A = this chain, B = another copy of it.
Amino acid sequence: MDPRVREHAEIIVDHSVDVGPDDEVLLRGHPVAEDLMIAIAELCGERGANLSVRSSSSRVDRAYRKAIDAEDISQSAVSLAGAEATDVAIAVRADANTFETSDIDPEKTSAMARVNKEIQEEIMGKRWVGTQYPAPANAQDAEMSTDAYESFVWGAINKNWAAVREHQAQMVEILDPAEEVRIRSGEETDITMSVAGNPTQNDFAERNLPGGEVFTAPVPDSVEGEVHFDKPLMAQGREVQGVRLRFENGEVVDHSAEKNETVLTAVLNTDPGASRLGELGIGMNRDIDQFTYNMLFDEKMGDTVHMALGRAYEDTVGEANERNDSSMHMDMIVDMSEDSTIEVDGEVVQRDGAFVFEDHFE
């Protein structure tokens, strides 16, 4: 077995979810991720934990979803009972074909998500982590060879997360007590928002592996200005490129996209919260040095910031502040490596990707 798989498994089991002898562990993943699941299973055994493996093929899932009538869709009592009995949930993303469910009626998929919301919430209340295995189909999504994608994935994941935590804490210290953040990049991005009273979180690979960002929530009505998101994003199964948004009093008052603008429009019209920001994140994982069309990695890319339309995470909103609510959360990325600054309360804290606490900051 590739030693990088074992290292990945150790980070999951010991760092992200800290499996111990009394834990009921639920491990889920596609059969193509077998190697990583073997390594995780071995470590769970060594820790004396109880392990349940729930591998499932997307072709089997698709066959069921395709065949069932929308009105017959109901919550799975088996999955709910299993989720309730779980202490630790590990989800390994990987597939043999990432477009396997592309011909399922989106209404049906939404209905399935709705009936299984309680199961999802049950899991989110436990210790959990989502990670990626570099299967060939996932390399294909990233437009990379499998070999190169393996190096990319394990390069971003297999690192000293304690050191990452410490490094990122410097940015948390700046952002956590801040009032106002201003982000400028090139000719087209100049946006200001209040983060006053909203806590900043340090993502050092507990629930997401890779981790590598610090993030908070803007005060919903405070966002003012324009942004050009120069990295593409996937929404509703399609690639949206060159998104431009203008905010007034926190709301998107003008929008355009160079590719698939209708998708962007549909997303903005989902519900009232969908046209306001729910997250400001700063990507700090410099081992993620290229865009791979996978938000688990893209949003943590070094020298980027991302803003999400829609739902704000509860742990990023102060008790006295309003939390932007929506049924969606769509991350969009700005490249900050050139001609860019992040200002916090009037002081430049990042210039062209370099943070004020780094040696190469000028």
Q: When the two chains form their complex, are residues A60 and B79 in contact, meaning their CB atoms are under 8 A apart? A: no
Is A320 in contact with chain B by the CB < 8 A criterion? no
Instruction: From the candidates B52, B68, B76, name the one contacting A46 in the complex (CB within 8 A).
Output: B68
Instruction: Tell me, in angstroms, the Cα distance from A322 to B69 when the chains sit together.
Output: 48
Is A349 in contact with chain B by the CB < 8 A criterion? no
Q: When the two chains form their complex, are residues B80 and A85 in contact, meaning their CB atoms are under 8 A apart? A: yes
Q: How large is the interface on A (under 10, 10 to 19, 20 to 34, 35 or more residues)?
A: 35 or more
Contact residues, A107-149 vs B (CB, 8 A): none
Instruction: Please name all residues of chain B whose beta carbon is closer than 8 Å to the beta carbon of A63 when the two chains form the complex.
Output: 38-39, 41-42, 45
Q: When the two chains form their complex, are residues B55 and A24 in contact, meaning their CB atoms are under 8 A apart? A: no
User: What 1/0 flags go to A39-69 for Cβ under 8 Å of B?
Assistant: 1011111101011111111011101111111
User: What 1/0 flags go to A296-316 for Cβ under 8 Å of B?
Assistant: 000000000000000000000
Is A180 in contact with chain B by the CB < 8 A criterion? no
Instruction: Tell me, in angstroms, the Cα distance from A281 to B31 when the chains sit together.
Output: 37
Instruction: Tell me, in angstroms, the Cα distance from A86 to B27 when the chains sit together.
Output: 20
- Closest residue of B by beta carbon distance from A27: B60
Instruction: Please name all residues of chain B whose beta carbon is closer than 8 Å to the beta carbon of A78 when the two chains form the complex.
Output: 24, 26, 50, 52, 82, 85-86
Q: When the two chains form their complex, are residues A41 and B24 in contact, meaning their CB atoms are under 8 A apart? A: no
Is A187 in contact with chain B by the CB < 8 A criterion? no
Is A254 in contact with chain B by the CB < 8 A criterion? no
Q: When the two chains form their complex, are residues A24 and B77 in contact, meaning their CB atoms are under 8 A apart? A: yes
- Closest residue of B by beta carbon distance from A52: B78
Q: When the two chains form their complex, are residues B57 and A56 in contact, meaning their CB atoms are under 8 A apart? A: no
Instruction: Please name all residues of chain B whose beta carbon is closer than 8 Å to the beta carbon of A65 when the two chains form the complex.
Output: 45
Q: When the two chains form their complex, are residues B76 and A52 in contact, meaning their CB atoms are under 8 A apart? A: yes
Is A336 in contact with chain B by the CB < 8 A criterion? no
Instruction: Tell me, in angstroms, the Cα distance from A81 to B79 when the chains sit together.
Output: 9
Number of copies: 2
Q: When the two chains form their complex, are residues B43 and A67 in contact, meaning their CB atoms are under 8 A apart? A: yes
Instruction: Please name all residues of chain B whose beta carbon is closer than 8 Å to the beta carbon of A41 when the two chains form the complex.
Output: 60-61, 63-64, 67
Instruction: Please name all residues of chain B whose beta carbon is closer than 8 Å to the beta carbon of A55 when the two chains form the complex.
Output: 31, 54-57, 60
Q: When the two chains form their complex, are residues A34 and B54 in contact, meaning their CB atoms are under 8 A apart? A: no
Is A72 in contact with chain B by the CB < 8 A criterion? yes
Q: When the two chains form their complex, are residues A68 and B52 in contact, meaning their CB atoms are under 8 A apart? A: no
Q: Nearest-CB distance from A90 to chain B (Å)? A: 12
Instruction: From the candidates B37, B42, B84, name the one contacting A81 in the complex (CB within 8 A).
Output: B84
Known: A34-B59, A54-B54. Contact between A85 and B74, CB under 8 A?
no
- Closest residue of B by beta carbon distance from A54: B54
Instruction: Please name all residues of chain B whose beta carbon is closer than 8 Å to the beta carbon of A48 when the two chains form the complex.
Output: 68-69, 72
Other A-B contacts than A45-B68, A50-B75, A55-B55, 10 sampled, CB-CB below 8 A, are A26-B78, A41-B61, A41-B63, A42-B66, A43-B67, A44-B64, A45-B66, A78-B82, A78-B86, A81-B85
| Interfacial residues, chain A to chain B (CB-CB below 8 A) | 21, 24, 26-27, 31, 34, 37-39, 41-46, 48, 50-57, 59-61, 63-69, 72, 74-82, 84-86
Listed by A's residue number, 10 A-B pairs whose Cβ atoms lie within 8 Å are: A31-B57, A34-B57, A34-B60, A37-B60, A42-B67, A43-B67, A54-B55, A78-B82, A79-B82, A81-B81
